[in-house]
Amino acid sequence: MTGRIFSPEEKLEIIQEWIQGASPRELCTKYQVHDTTLSRWRKKYDKYGADGLKKRKKHRSYTRTFKEMIAREHQNDTISLSELAYKYDIPSKETVRQWIMRYNNGEEIRTKREGASPLNKGRKTTYAERIEIAQYHAQRDISYRELAERFEVSYQQARNIVVKYREYGEAGLEDKRGKGKSEAQLTDMDRLNREISMLKADKRKLEVENALLKKLEELERD
């Protein structure tokens, strides 16, 4: 087979011949195209029409959560790599294979936001997301850089969220709250919420440390 690049119009013409009765084998021979490539064109056409045969202008970015979801689905269901790629509109089954291999090996599946690194370009976060980010940091020995990469926020956002959570608790993560308040300006309720949040964070860290120690003891016994 040749390494020829087909235009969207040529792909459409070939698919239409298939629809009109030509066999895939005949088309592969006639146009010198691989059978898996032809099959991929047909699936994209069936799913998206002629637009599915057009080349994407930009590389698509996938979140870490999405990649891990794909890996778990492959583990739990009898679904092939090709079927997963088609189901979720992923260009190549090899991409899916790499995600699954990293997930099965216990490696973190990294991701990058399109057009910029999450370390220097932020994004708008919800109150719930900020709480999740703060609590994730409180439960683990993780740097601001690693935190920013995992949640796809800027380094400064990750740092600010953690600092506000430490100082003001969950109230500090609300929009325009816990910002610019001095100790004297805090109400009794603000102070109480801050103390409660700090105690919760300390408790979570202690639980994680105890779990790690227990795991180490088990490994040493083995």
Q: What is the pLDDT of residues 26-55, one digit of tens each?
A: 999 999 888 888 888 888 888 778 877 876
Q: What is the pLDDT of residues 72-110, one digit of tens each?
A: 888 777 788 888 887 777 777 888 888 888 877 766 666
Q: CB neighbours of 97 closer than 8 A, spacing ≥ 6?
A: 81
Nearest-angstrom CA–CA distance, 39 and 47: 12
Side-chain-facing half-sphere of 203: CA atoms under 13 Å: 6
